[in-house]
């Protein structure tokens, strides 16, 4: 039984997620389908990449990860299968995979898609999943590619005493996640004290290990399970209460 994960912007109100699952099971009934998320904001490949990037390493090697977000990004949409880190990834060549992987993609093929709409895309996806589940090689599934579409996102600006980052995700609890990683923070901090500035609020000057390290309703920052600097409020909604959303700027100043 091959595990196949789904990451989409379909939501749960309509029949779209169900139709995709039905098409997959019709092509290969022995799949074990796992939902990562169907609540990706519409067409938002940056958010989809963030979610899938942080979820897929928890799955066993050999898992197939299907992402269906912004499939029809132009009138020449193409669809890929990629083998990376022992996992398989299927989705549109719209730049999402360049956001998920730091390393250059070495094993990628383009699927045969005739351009006839969502039902055909689902069928192409399902056929690729069934072939992978049957043990076929990538070269038997599609046409090898040397490069995929690249998408560039804003990276933190790093100076000797400062990191300027941005909000990249707001989770279901309205915790605010930045693009500043623990590794980058520690390399720049060099054990110096810091002040985290955002909007016009008072800076946060201590790292917490848990949300309950501060009183209820107080702001805090910590490194989350994915290793990103996160701004939160103990038992509160940081995004709403602090006025922080995706693409907003945050700034870390390091002292002497």
Question: Residue 229 belongs to a domain with what CATH number?
Answer: 2.40.30.90
Residue 175, in any domain of the structure: yes
51 and 116 Cβ atoms separated by less than 8 Å: no
Average pLDDT over residues 102-123: 86
Domain annotation covers residue 152: no
How many angstroms separate the CA atoms of 85 and 243, rounded?
Answer: 38
Each residue of 52-103: pLDDT tens digit? 999 999 999 999 999 999 988 766 788 999 999 999 999 999 999 999 997 7
Q: Is residue 149 part of a domain?
A: no
- Look at residues 144, 178, 211 and tell me which one is the last residue of a structural domain: 144
Q: Does residue 151 lie in a domain region? A: no
Q: What is the pLDDT of residue 247?
A: 92
Q: Are 9 and 70 in contact (CB under 8 A)?
A: yes
pTM: 0.90
d(CA 254, CA 188): 8
Looking at the structure, tell me whether residues 136 and 107 fall in a common domain.
yes
Radius of gyration of the chain (CA): 20
CATH at residue 81: 3.40.50.10790
CB 168 within 8 Å of CB 66: no
Q: Are residues 98 and 18 in the same domain?
A: yes
Q: Looking at the structure, tell me whether residues 25 and 108 fall in a common domain.
A: yes
- Reported residue count of the chain is 256
Q: Tell me the two tokens of residue 115.
A: 């351009």
* Percent of residues, the chain, with pLDDT higher than 70: 99
- Per-residue model confidence (pLDDT) at position 102: 79
Range of the domain at 52: 3-144
Total domains, the chain: 2
- Residues 252, 225: Cα–Cα separation, whole Å: 20
**pLDDT for residue 75:** 67
Task: Tell me: do 191 and 102 sit in the same domain.
Answer: no
Are residues 168 and 242 located together in one domain of the fold? yes
- Which of 144, 172, 201 terminates a domain? The answer is 144
In this structure, the answer to whether residues 214 and 242 fall within a common structural domain is yes
Same domain for 209 and 243, yes or no, is yes
Position 99 in a domain? yes
Looking at the fold, whether 139 and 176 belong to one and the same domain comes out as no
Q: Is 246 in the same domain as 167?
A: yes
Which of 144, 175, 196 is the C-terminal boundary of a domain? 144
Q: Are 128 and 90 in contact (CB under 8 A)?
A: yes
Q: Write out pLDDT tens, residues 244-256.
A: 999 999 999 998 6
Report pLDDT digits (tens) over 223-237: 999 999 999 999 999
Q: Are residues 133 and 164 in the same domain?
A: no
| Same domain flag for 27 and 130 | yes
In a domain, 243, yes or no: yes
């Amino acid at each position: 039984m091959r595990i196949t994960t789904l990451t989409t912007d379909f939501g749960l109100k309509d029949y779209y997620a169900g139709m995709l699952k039905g098409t997959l099971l019709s092509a290969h009934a022995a799949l074990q389908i796992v939902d990562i998320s169907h609540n990706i904001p519409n067409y938002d490949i940056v958010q989809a990449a963030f979610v899938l990037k942080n979820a897929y390493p928890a799955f066993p090697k050999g898992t197939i990860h299907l992402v269906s977000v912004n499939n029809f990004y132009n009138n020449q949409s193409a669809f890929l299968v990629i083998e990376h880190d022992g996992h398989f990834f299927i989705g549109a060549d719209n730049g999402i995979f360049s956001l998920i992987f730091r390393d250059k993609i070495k094993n990628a093929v383009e699927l045969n898609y005739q351009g006839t709409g969502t039902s055909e895309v689902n069928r192409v996806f399902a056929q690729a999943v069934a072939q992978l589940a049957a043990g076929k090689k990538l070269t038997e599934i599609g046409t090898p590619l040397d490069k995929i579409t690249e998408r560039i996102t804003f990276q933190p600006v790093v100076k000797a005493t400062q990191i300027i980052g941005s909000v990249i995700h707001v989770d279901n609890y309205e915790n605010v996640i930045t693009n500043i990683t623990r590794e980058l923070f520690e390399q720049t901090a060099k054990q110096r004290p810091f002040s985290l500035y955002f909007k016009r609020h008072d800076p946060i000057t201590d790292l917490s290990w848990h949300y309950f390290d501060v009183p209820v309703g107080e702001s805090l920052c910590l490194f989350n399970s994915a290793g990103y600097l996160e701004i939160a409020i103990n038992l509160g909604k940081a995004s709403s209460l602090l006025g922080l959303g995706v693409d907003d700027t945050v700034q870390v100043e390091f002292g002497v």
